[in-house]
Amino acid sequence: MSKVLSNKNNLQVLYEDNHLIIINKRAGDIVQGDKTGDTPLSDVVKDYIKDKYNKPGNVYLGVVHRLDRPTTGVVMFAKTSKALPRLNKLFVDRKADKTYWALVKNAPEKQADTLTHWLRKNPKNNKSTAFPKKSEDSKKAILHYQILKQLDNYVLIEVSLETGRHHQIRVQLASIGSPIKGDLKYGFNRSNPDGSISLHARNLKFLHPVSNEVIHVTAPLPKDPVWDVCLA
């Protein structure tokens, strides 16, 4: 299901029921409040719920998972305190099947592969470094990728994660010589005009923690000529 249910105030709602809501995040949106003081996506969603259902008082919304600010795609929130721990457990137990699309500069050597690195985060510059072997304060990172399409100047790659580390997809792809389009922090040579990086949380599939229904959501790609070619 990739239809946008609502596009009010630039908020693309992909799925909603009594327990959860799934949004197609735009580049530049922060999922949860941080030191910048910018309005987080969580507050925008709260306002949407308050307005749509004419709710008095404060609206409950739980953050289930996050996406980096310059990335786009599927983000899920819990609408009830009952749903939040169940949804969190889905992600902790790796029972939420999430796939990403990335546009990279150089094609990896293999059509499909599993990448394993040890990542160390530097909080001072908010950047992770990948090592081939375990090192001090590093965490194991595993991802799987496959090449979906060769474009004129870029390569479309699909990625799924076994672990959820800081900037994992960005640093692991950069470490094999395939930095993501627009990602200056990890070696791409120029930025995207809107400050985004071409990494998109494309699909999310999971078993609904209350109804036990299989939910499968596909987030439409950003409006961009290069992304458009991916679907041609």
End-to-end CA distance of the chain: 19
Contact 48, 39 (CB under 8 A): no
Catalytic-residue membership of 224: no
What is the maximal distance between C-alpha atoms in the chain? 56
Are β-strands 112-122 and 139-150 bridged in parallel, bridged antiparallel, or unpaired? Answer: antiparallel
Contact 22, 48 (CB under 8 A): no
Beta bridge partners of 150: 155
Contact 165, 37 (CB under 8 A): no
Active-site hit among 17, 29, 68, 152: 68
For residue 15, which of 108, 77, 86 has the smallest C-alpha distance? 77
Residues classed as catalytic: 68
